[in-house]
């Protein structure tokens, strides 16, 4: 009798799994954006470093990997998310965007990724990854020696700048240059430094999302062209510090390479996204209300201010803004690591 009950339960369990398996074909058309970190270089427990997790069908991609990325990704999706990411897009080489690339590489591998990690970023990303690889060679050798499969340690690194950089499985990614290079404050001249900052546009099954990267947006900004009529336009922002204290002056130096709410608002107005989103928010303590008030004189359309663990789902014609359901158990199967 007990065996019978078990069998019946098993059949039901299998059927419900089958039913779930049929569902993903609909889910496959959905694009999900989870904000892992919405801050900038200044440490903040509210806003971790910049990193956005994109799920589009089978594609699991990180846009930047700032401080705290691994922990946020773990909370967002457990070990499955950590090992499921096989593609990282890097907007530029500032540490607040790159310090967790080694985590994406090594944690992903140690906890189950058995395919290479694909990294695409601006000129300089190859050098950075070569150096990171050298820095952790001992660790990789050690773990392989004690039985972790070597598969998954390989890095595929592309230096990209402009145009379509990826087109597979219904997902097209386009890179474009944005202004974020150091300039002479007096003359406005670019001081010259190898490498650049890029933004990305993703198109997937009728959905579209733009990531501005770090940038001081002007009328000439490429975002005005690439972002026309986009679904989601995710833009960075810096609110100027008031007054003329030395602290305020120092904070405002970076306005030469970041965008004020006015500058970002004008981009939103020119591109008319279905939803304008702020992320990479400087300073981290600025409130959503403050940002909205500062933007409204220049842009009247739909907008939201991202926070860590905000989740935006693009499904059909809908844009659903919600919270990422955190994984509480974080169960881990050793067998997955050892590839048994
Ligand atoms: Zn930054
Ligand atoms: Zn930067």
DSSP states of 260-314 as a string?
Answer: -HHHHHHHHHHH--SEEEEEEEESTT--HHHHHHHHTTT--S-EEE--TTEEEEE
Beta bridge partners of 283: none
- On whether the CB atoms of residues 202 and 233 are closer than 8 A, the answer is no
User: What's residue 18's pLDDT?
Assistant: 36
Q: What is the DSSP letter of 28?
A: T
Q: Please compute the mean of the pLDDT values over residues 106-116 and round it to a whole number.
A: 98
pLDDT digits (tens, 9 = 90+) for 294-328: 999 999 999 999 999 999 999 999 999 999 998 86
What is the distance in A from the centroid of ligand 2 to the CA of 214?
5
Q: Does domain 28-327 have CATH number 3.40.50.720?
A: no
- Residue 306 CA to residue 161 CA, distance in Å, equals 27
pLDDT digits (tens, 9 = 90+) for 242-264: 998 988 988 888 898 999 999 99
Closest CA to 286 of 295, 298, 274: 295
User: What's residue 338's pLDDT?
Assistant: 57
What is the distance in A from the centroid of ligand 1 to the CA of 303?
21
Closest CA to 153 of 340, 310, 339: 339
What is the distance in A from the centroid of ligand 1 to the CA of 13?
47
The ligand placed nearest to the CA atom of residue 237 is: 1
Where do the domains of the chain lie? 28-327
Give backbone dihedrals phi and psi of 174, rounded to 5 degrees, phi first. -115, 135
Say what the pTM is: 0.89
Closest CA to 251 of 96, 67, 40: 40
What is the distance in A from the centroid of ligand 1 to the CA of 180?
10
What is the distance in A from the centroid of ligand 1 to the CA of 278?
13
The ligand placed nearest to the CA atom of residue 181 is: 2
Q: What does the longest C-alpha to C-alpha distance in the chain come to? A: 86
What is the distance in A from the centroid of ligand 1 to the CA of 186?
23
What is the distance in A from the centroid of ligand 1 to the CA of 322?
24
User: What's residue 340's pLDDT?
Assistant: 45
The ligand placed nearest to the CA atom of residue 197 is: 2
């Amino acid at each position: 009798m007990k065996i019978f009950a078990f069998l019946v339960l098993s059949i039901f369990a299998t059927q419900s799994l089958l039913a779930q398996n049929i569902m993903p074909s609909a889910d496959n058309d959905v694009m999900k954006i989870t904000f892992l970190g919405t801050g900038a270089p200044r440490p903040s427990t509210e806003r971790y470093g910049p990193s956005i997790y994109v799920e589009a069908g089978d594609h699991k991609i990180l846009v930047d990997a700032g401080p705290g990325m691994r922990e946020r990704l773990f909370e967002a999706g457990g070990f499955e998310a950590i090992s499921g990411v096989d593609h990282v897009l890097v907007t530029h080489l500032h540490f607040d965007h790159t310090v967790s690339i080694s985590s994406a590489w090594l944690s992903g591998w140690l906890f189950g990724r058995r395919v290479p990690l694909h990294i695409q970023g601006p000129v300089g990303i190859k050098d950075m990854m070569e150096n990171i690889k050298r820095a952790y060679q001992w660790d990789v050798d050690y773990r392989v020696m004690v039985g972790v499969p070597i598969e998954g340690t390989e890095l595929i690194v592309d230096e990209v700048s402009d145009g379509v950089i990826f087109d597979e499985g219904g997902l097209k990614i386009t890179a474009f240059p944005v202004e974020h290079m150091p300039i002479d404050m007096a003359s406005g001249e670019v001081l010259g430094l190898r490498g650049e900052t890029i933004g990305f546009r993703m198109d997937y099954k009728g959905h579209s999302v733009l990531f501005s990267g770090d940038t001081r947006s002007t009328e000439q900004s490429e975002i005005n062209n690439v972002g026309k009529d986009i679904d989601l336009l995710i833009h960075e922002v810096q609110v100027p510090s008031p007054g003329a204290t030395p602290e305020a002056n120092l904070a405002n130096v970076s306005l030469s390479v970041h965008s004020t709410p006015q500058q970002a608002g004008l981009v939103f107005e020119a591109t008319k996204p279905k939803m304008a989103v702020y992320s990479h928010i400087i300073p981290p303590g600025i409130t959503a209300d403050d940002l909205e008030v500062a933007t409204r004189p220049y842009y009247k359309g739909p907008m939201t201010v991202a926070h860590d663990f905000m989740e935006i789902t693009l499904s059909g014609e809908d844009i659903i803004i919600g919270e990422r359901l955190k994984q509480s158990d974080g169960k881990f199967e050793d067998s997955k690591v050892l590839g048994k």
